[in-house]
């Protein structure tokens, strides 16, 4: 042992080589090998292809960092039963990246498609979360909406009508395609 320590005291390349090799070996054991095995298991998971709108919506979910505050992971523990059945590996098989998350500043969304199946509720909530949940601390996403005069709103489209202070008097909010995509994604998130 002393000899070995003495060797490292004289050979920087020895430290790099040996500590690098040990690190790589342990990495294979606890990261690479399990990841490869899970990847093989994923291949047998059912293949469902998302619609284009859902895929675009998921990209917005990633861009806005929703996953920092919302997990999509139901653990097999009593605390989580409210969110649905425990998540399984196959729930994430086609996700890149999977959105399990590590924080619940907001509620888990693993089954939000079941829990909030209303397009209108989701649109109002994205435009301003406090219009639906007064105590919410979630960011509002007004940049996915156009605020126009109520008279200018198309008769056959969706228009959000809200009192002040959410919208100025006489104005309505029209969802841009991105808002509809994001809602399409949210309504598709279902594990059970």
The residues in 6-65 that bind other proteins, with binding defined as CB under 8 A, are 8-13, 15-16, 19-20, 22-24, 26-27, 29-32, 34-36, 38-39, 41-42, 60, 62-65
Q: How far apart are CA 84 and CA 56, in angstroms?
A: 26
Of 98, 92, 27, residue with least CA distance to 62: 98
Q: How many residues line the site for other proteins (CB under 8 A)? A: 76
Residue 148 is a binding residue for other proteins (CB under 8 A): no
Q: How far apart are CA 177 and CA 170, in angstroms?
A: 23
Which residues in 181-190 are b (16+ Cβ under 10 Å) and which e?
bbbbbbbbbe
Residues 110-129 within binding reach of other proteins (CB under 8 A): 129
Q: Kindly state the tokens that stand for 66.
A: 């929703």
Of 134, 119, 132, residue with least CA distance to 162: 132
Applying CB under 8 A, among 46, 96, 151, 169 the residue interacting with other proteins is 96
Q: How far apart are CA 7 and CA 94, in angstroms?
A: 49
C-beta closer to other proteins: residue 14 or 117 = 14
Applying CB under 8 A, among 44, 79, 154, 157 the residue interacting with other proteins is 79
Applying CB under 8 A, among 103, 120, 121, 147 the residue interacting with other proteins is 103
Applying CB under 8 A, among 53, 138, 148, 174 the residue interacting with other proteins is 138
Q: How far apart are CA 55 and CA 59, in angstroms?
A: 6
Tell me the closest approach of the beta carbon of residue 51 to other proteins, in angstroms.
19
Contact 175, 158 (CB under 8 A): yes
C-beta closer to other proteins: residue 30 or 48 = 30
Which range, of 49-57, 87-95, 145-153, 154-162, touches other proteins by CB under 8 A? 87-95
């Amino acid at each position: 042992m002393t000899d070995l320590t003495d060797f490292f005291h004289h050979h920087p390349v020895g430290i790099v080589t040996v500590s690098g090799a040990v690190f790589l070996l342990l990495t294979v054991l606890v990261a690479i090998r399990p990841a490869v095995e899970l990847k093989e298991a994923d291949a047998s998971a059912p293949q469902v292809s998302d619609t284009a709108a859902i895929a675009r919506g998921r990209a917005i979910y990633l861009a806005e960092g929703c996953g920092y505050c919302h997990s999509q992971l139901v653990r097999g523990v009593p605390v989580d039963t409210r969110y649905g059945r425990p998540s399984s590996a196959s729930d994430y098989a086609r996700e890149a990246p999977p959105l399990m998350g590590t924080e619940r500043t907001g509620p888990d969304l693993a089954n939000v498609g079941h829990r909030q199946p209303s397009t209108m509720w989701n649109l109002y909530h994205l435009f301003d979360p406090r219009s639906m949940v007064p105590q919410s601390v979630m960011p509002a996403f007004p940049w996915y909406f156009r605020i126009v005069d109520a008279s200018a709103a198309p008769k056959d489209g969706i228009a959000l009508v809200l009192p002040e202070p959410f919208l100025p008097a006489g104005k309505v909010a029209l969802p841009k395609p991105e808002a509809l995509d994001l809602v399409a994604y949210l309504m598709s998130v279902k594990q059970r």
